[in-house]
């Protein structure tokens, strides 16, 4: 992810003031892995849906206040300080392998494109 105004480290400072509160969306299947991914001195989680991108976008906007421009192709990067808020709002905590497995099974995984000639 390129640094700039859409990166979650800048967005998360704003989201504390824009939280919609838990329980507004019902019957969503949003998954979050443990915040173990290091980037720029912080720990991050991945937030995905195993049902649809629309469901994921709706959850993130309503429950976390993160703008759509922070979407990473098939997931949102969630800073550690928003992990408990996401879980309280209904995100299901899972391990990274289960998250990837369910994303693949749903056909919602976007694989990174390799550069031509890359091994």
Angle at 66 between CA 62 and CA 70, to 5 degrees: 135
In a domain, 2, yes or no: no
Handedness of CA 2, 44, 95, 65 (dihedral sign): negative
Give tens-digit pLDDT for 11-65.
444 444 334 444 454 556 899 999 999 989 999 999 999 889 999 999 999 999 9
Higher pLDDT, 113 or 53: 53
Give tens-digit pLDDT for 1-13.
444 334 444 444 4
In a domain, 28, yes or no: yes
- For 58, the token pair is 């709706």
In a domain, 3, yes or no: no
In a domain, 41, yes or no: yes
pTM: 0.72
In a domain, 74, yes or no: yes
Higher pLDDT, 68 or 114: 68
Q: What is the pLDDT of residue 115?
A: 61
Q: What is the pLDDT of residue 68?
A: 93
Looking at the structure of the chain, the number of domains it has is 1
Q: Which of 17, 35, 38, 39 is nearest to 81 (CA)?
A: 35
Q: What is the pLDDT of residue 90?
A: 94
* Domain enclosing residue 74, as ranges: 8-105
């Amino acid at each position: 992810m390129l640094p700039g105004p859409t990166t979650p480290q800048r967005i998360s400072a704003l989201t504390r003031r824009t939280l919609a509160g838990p329980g507004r969306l019902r019957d969503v299947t949003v998954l979050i892995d443990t915040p173990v991914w290091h980037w720029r001195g912080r720990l991050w989680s991945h937030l995905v849906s195993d049902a649809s991108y629309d469901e994921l976008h709706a959850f993130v906007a309503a429950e976390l206040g993160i703008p759509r421009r922070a979407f990473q192709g098939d997931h949102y990067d969630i800073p550690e300080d928003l992990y408990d808020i996401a879980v309280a709002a209904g995100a299901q905590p899972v391990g990274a392998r289960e998250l990837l497995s369910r994303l693949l099974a749903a056909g919602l995984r976007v694989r990174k494109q390799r550069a031509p000639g890359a091994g």
